[in-house]
Structure formats: structure tokens, C-alpha cells
Amino acid sequence: VFRIGEFSQIARVSGRLLRYYDSIGLLRPQHIDQQTGYRYYSAGQLQQLNRILALKDLGLTLDQIARMLDDKIDVAEIRGMLALKKAELEQSLSEEAARLRHIESRLTQIEERGNLGDYDVVMKSAPALPFLGIRAVYPTFGDAVATVRAVATAARTQLSAGAIANLTVVAHCDYVDEDLDLEIGVTLSRAVNRKVRVAASDSPGGELTLSELPAIERLATLVRSGPPEEGHLAFGKLGIWMEANGYRIDGRCREMFLDLPFQIPGQDTMTLEIQFPVAKAA
Amino acid sequence: VFRIGEFSQIARVSGRLLRYYDSIGLLRPQHIDQQTGYRYYSAGQLQQLNRILALKDLGLTLDQIARMLDDKIDVAEIRGMLALKKAELEQSLSEEAARLRHIESRLTQIEERGNLGDYDVVMKSAPALPFLGIRAVYPTFGDAVATVRAVATAARTQLSAGAIANLTVVAHCDYVDEDLDLEIGVTLSRAVNRKVRVAASDSPGGELTLSELPAIERLATLVRSGPPEEGHLAFGKLGIWMEANGYRIDGRCREMFLDLPFQIPGQDTMTLEIQFPVAKAA
DNA sequence: TTGCTCCTCACGTCACGTGAGGTGGC
DNA sequence: TTGCTCCTCACGTCACGTGAGGTGGC
């Protein structure tokens, strides 16, 4: 029979750990002196402790271990807990591997460019949102920008400020230079019944119609600010990131303007979030 | 410019997180209303937040992130921090993989035997200890047991109780049935100068000599209790464990008796810890 | 006035490590 | 008597989540 100091030396654990396990009822000493409060452990308890340590080493919590050491537990439940833990481990292993790839791509980026870069790609999910927009094919990039400007103006003048969430452009085509098939409109914080008309001299005008922007689970996003024509830089960055981190594009790109653009005449700098639905590459 | 609620929706993070980052100075809102305490964030701050989230995703702590976002940091230090984190990740990846192997071997064990088993193997390290012992070749297993008994008696009668730590047997041969080359003695909690003599009729007697049991970094250990002749069961268990978990034997085995054995005549049950120095298998 | 959003505490988490301050045993 | 070992609080950890209780703005 050992005092806590000897026992902790034999077992190579701290006395604090033994007192803690006592306090939570995980490993009670064989005997406690009522006078002094001294804890006494038997040689056989080293086996109990070793079982605890072995299970802890598998990554189980002390609660789970206590459950597994309970006399009334049956084997099927033990097997179930281990199988669950195994699944968690496999999950976390693949996440760690992804993290490692991310960090490696950051490191090569630093080697090549000498800094952390201008933009950061972040994975998010997006909920479904009511969307008031208009879809059309725009001959040139400039035509599309003109309509963005017109929609921004229409939304600002014809909708109450509280109703608008964000000006958003949804691509229905790949990234091309002409004949762009786009949906341009605003997401709403709440549904509205007002009809909103867009007037524009040199681009398709008409009426915005209400639909829904679908929810998306896995979105690679990136925020950029600058003039409209610098968009391709950010797209390039996103492409590099996806390749380095094992994703592929899996849906239509969206651009969400965080500032309502073109509010100050002559200044066309804007901040927007580019969103790409992605899936794991094969 | 956004209130915390809108900003948190755009960024897909909780308001609490934003308040927390404000409180630790990691991401201060662009403006705080002195009257109401309301926090206001700019569109550009989404980029700062995204950088933070991207770095957090790499597994860096918020302290490290704050350091990396500091203006006064140079690129070499950033690279150093990432390289360090990369090394940590690789380390933890291999540990998780080991955990996964462990848990798989547990699961197959449950399939085969229907329970968690009798013994648990635990990895430890051992410090160097003063050792008072005698080395000899014993024709049979029984001869060795007789000397263990004699050494136990000699230690109990000729040494003060406080000086003895554990009765220990060190193997200098593989696990064989005859001509066992063993060192039998006691580890000491403090050095002693007394000469200790072993008297035994049917086994090598003589004088115990003082030496040092070397420290060992990686020890696979297992505690068993039972009669001496059941040792091979535990050895078999250890062998299976090592194979399943990717270790090989890397040194001489030791057995440490936790109870001084043979104290009660006729009862030869004992609790001992088997210790195998191991290394990762190739 | 009624919701809605925002605010500031403050506790809880998980498995102990690390003192602080005090007492029994040789 | 002097060390040594043991004891019981109690705070700190890390990055927030989750109420509690109260206030500004439309």
C-alpha cells in the first residue's frame, strides 16, 4: 500500500492528477485516513490507473472513461464508444491534413511574394435569402457595370433602407469578356411587395422580380476592394487557393457588394465579397 | 458601416466573437459610439476579420495571430511562426495516426475476446535509480524465483524500510526457459552504504553490489498480478500490443515488483510491472 | 408603447498545473 | 525541532457560448 507520493512516482503521474481523479470519482484511493486525510493506494490500483491512462491516450474524455469503467456497461456500448471515437479521429485526421496543406501553401506564397498576400480566402456557408433582381445578357463588361449602378440607384431610391441587405451579382456564365449572363439585384432582410423599376439608357432596364437566392453549404469566399476592373486579380487568387487546397468549383459564382457602390459620383472603388460554391476535388 | 449584428451576419461569426476580439484588441471596431457603446464596423474590416479567421484555421492561437498582424513584425518572423506551426501539425498528425492505430487494435481485440482485456499497456519514461543487486545465470526459472525470494528477505531484514523502493529483476537474456541471465536486486530511494548479503541454499548467494539502473525514455509497461509462472501471458500481450502499434523492443526487459513478494508464507501471488524499452518500428 | 438590437457582467467549459497557507510523521 | 510529505482551497488556462439583466432606436 502506497502513499500518494510513492504511487505517483511509480505511475509517473502527478499527485494533483491522482487527487483530481479522486475528486471526480474516477479513481478513489483504496483507503483514506480519516484523521489526516492521507490517501493510500494499493498495488492493484495501478492497473486501474493504467487502464484510465490507456483510454485517455485514445483521446477519450474522462467522462467517457468513467462510463466505460462502470460495471453496469455492456460490451456493445464500449464498442460503440470506441467506434464513434474512431470516426472522430478519422475526421480530425483529414482536417489536420487539410490544415497542413493550407499552411504549406501559405509558406510557398511567402517564398514567392515575400508576404502573407493581400486577400484571405475563408470557407463559409450561406443561408437562403429573398432576392429582388433582374437577369439579362450583357454584351460587354461595361454594360453590366452600368446596370449594377442602375440597380443600386433604384434600390436606394425606391426601397426603404432597412429592407435592403446587399447588392448582389450572380453569374450564370463562366468568367468571360463579352455576352455576360448575369443576375443583378439586392438581397432583402425581409420580403417586400413593392415593385421596383430600373431605368437605364444604355443597358437592359425593366422590373426587378422577387426570387430566392439558394442556401449554399460550402463557399470559398474572398473580400476585395478596388475598382470593378480589378476583379480578375481576386478571381485568380481564388483559383490558386482552390487548387492548392484541393477544392473545385461547384456552382455559380456570386459577388456581394458590402458597400452600396457608386454613392459618391466619380468614385467607383467598392468592397465586395466573391463567393464560389466549392466541393472537394477528386 | 455596419452594426455588430449585420457585420456578424455578413461574416458568419457570432456577435460574441466580435466583442471578444474587441476586448482582447485583436479586431477593434472602426468606431464606438460613446453614448450607447454600440460598435460600428466598416466593410474593409471584413478583410481584417477574414485574415484572422484564415490564420485561426491554420491552428494558430489568437496571441500568435495578433503577433502576425502587428505592423512591426518582419516577414522572416512570420515565416518562422508558420514553419513552427507546420512542424507541430506534422507531429500531431503522426500522433493522431498512432491513436487511430491504438483504437483499431482495441476494437479488433473486443471483437476477438469480447472485452477490453485484462491488462493495459502504457508508455512511460523512467529516471535513473540507484540499484543494489546481484547478477547470475540461473539454470531454471525456479532457481531464479528462489533468488528473488532470498533477495526480498535479505532486503527486508537488512535494510531500513525507507531506503527500499522496489524489488526489480533485469533480464540480460531473451525470454528463455533455462540458463537465465538475470540481475536481481532492489532500487533504492536513497543511496546506502551497508553491505547486504544474500544467503540461499539452492541458488547463487553472495553480496549485493551497488550500481545504477539507467534512465529510459520510452518504456512500454504493463502491470500484472498473479503467480510467477503466469508471466508469459503478460509478455505475449505486450508483444501483440507492440506489433499492433508499431513498436519494437529496444533494450533489456525489467520487472518491478510493486509488492515485496513472499511476505506471507505460502502465498506467492504478486503484482509487478513489466517494462520494455521500445523504439518505433521501421 | 412594443419589438428589436445592442450593451455589460459573469459563469461554464476541460483536465489539470501551480502556488498559497497550513498540518501530520519521523 | 527540522525537513519532508501530505492536505485543502483557489486561481489560471483558451476561446468563446450562453444566459441574466438592463438600455437605446424606430
- Best mutation site among B112, B223, B254, B271 for testing chain A: the one with the most A CBs within 10 Å? B223
Length of chain A: 282
Cα–Cα dist B64/B78, whole Å: 10
In order of A112, B46, B55, B73, the CA distances from B79 in angstroms are 12, 24, 13, 11
B20 touches strand D (CB under 7 A): yes
Q: How far apart (Å, rounded) are the C-alpha atoms in residues B117 and B181?
A: 31
Query: What are the pLDDT digits (tens) for A13-70?
Result: 999 999 999 999 999 999 999 989 999 999 889 999 999 999 999 999 999 999 999 8
Is B12 in contact with A124 (Cβ distance < 8 A)?
Answer: yes
Indicate if the pLDDT at residue B219 is higher than 90.
yes
pLDDT band at B193 (very low <50, low <70, confident <90, very high): low
B17 Cβ contacts chain D strand, under 7 Å: yes
Nearest to A43 among B53, B89, B271 (CB): B271
CA B278 to mean position of chain CA atoms = 12
Which of A229, A78, A261, A58 minimizes the C-alpha distance to A142?
Answer: A229
Residues of A in contact with B83 (CB under 8 A): 107
pLDDT more than 90, % of chain B? 46
| Residue A82: φ, ψ to 5° | -65, -40
pLDDT band at B205 (very low <50, low <70, confident <90, very high): low
**Between chains, do B99 and A43 touch, taking CB under 8 Å as contact?**
no
Residue B183: pLDDT band with limits 50, 70, 90: very high
List chain B residues with CB under 8 Å of A106: 58, 82
Instruction: Please tell me which residue of chain B has the smallest CA distance to A162.
Output: B6
* CA atoms lying within 13 Å on the CB side of residue A179: 0
Q: Are A68 and A78 spatial neighbours (Cβ–Cβ below 8 Å)?
A: yes
Q: Is B19's CB less than 7 Å from nucleic acid strand C?
A: yes
**CA–CA min distance B70, chain A (Å):** 12
Please compute the mean of the pLDDT values over residues B72-90 and round it to a whole number: 93
Mean pLDDT of B231-240: 87
Taking CB atoms and an 8 Å cutoff, what residues of chain B touch A221? Answer: 50
Backbone angles phi, psi at B125, to 5 degrees: -125, 155
The whole model's pTM is what?
Answer: 0.87
pLDDT over 70 at B265, yes or no = no
